[in-house]
Structure formats: structure tokens, C-alpha cells
Amino acid sequence: MKTRYYIGGFIIVVFLGLLFYNFTRTNIEYESDFTQVMAKGKTCKATGVWVKEKSFQEDVQNRTFIFYLRDAKNNEMKVIYRGIKPNNFEIASNVVVTGKYENGVFHATDVLTKCPSKYEGQNINTSGS
């Protein structure tokens, strides 16, 4: 009778661990390296900076918005977003796109823009008052 509880408890603990381990894996991962995004081909959140030189194309009729992103290692990636351009896209310091990399383009389902902070530090004059 006692051993039954021990065996049962053991099974529960082992699988509870497995459950939590896998539960944490189900979240969508942030990825700041585009080579990883391209290699994996899974749904993820890619963060990067908009390439201003290449501009963007906006097709209002078909509601698509195409632009290029660049990551910290200067890898570039074409992003196609099914939707309209987010409001403060031009001034955004950082862009986070959620989606999947397929056939050379990143198909985004969601675009988040990070606005430059109002309170970013100016060069503080350290020479006193």
C-alpha cells in the first residue's frame, strides 16, 4: 500500500518537471540574430532596426507593408507585413516583428515599434555647475 504511493508520487514529480520544462518552451522566443531566424524557420519575435536607406513600400489596396530590417550584426532581412503601416514607424528606434521566415522573406503577423525615449540622456557637462 505504501509503495504504491511512493511509485505514484515519483511518477507525478518526474512528469511535473517535464511539464514545466516543456511549458516554458512553448513561449514564442525573442531573437535578435537574423541568421538564427532564417535557420530555424519557426514563429518567433525578431528585433532589429529599420533600414532607412531602402525605405518602405506601402500598398494600401492589398494592405501590405514591405520594409527591411537590420540586426546588430548587420544582417538584413525583408519583411512583409499584412496590414497598414504602424503610426510612429519612421521615428521608431527599434522594431519587433512577430512571424515566420519563409522563402527569403519574413512574413510578419504583428509589428511593434519602440519609440525613442523622451528622457534619453543628453551629454551631461561634468565640469560642475
Binding site for another protein (CB under 8 A): 4-5, 8-9, 11-12, 15-16, 18-19, 22-23, 25-26, 42-43
Distance of alpha carbon 113 from alpha carbon 96, whole angstroms: 6
**95 or 97, CB closer to another protein?**
97
Beta-carbon-side half-sphere exposure of residue 75 (alpha carbons within 13 Å): 16
β pairing state of 64-70 and 76-82: antiparallel
State in angstroms the smallest separation of the CB of 99 from another protein.
12
State in angstroms the smallest separation of the CB of 78 from another protein.
21
Count CB atoms within 10 A of the CB of residue 90: 11
* 69 strand-pairing partners: 50, 77
State in angstroms the smallest separation of the CB of 5 from another protein.
6
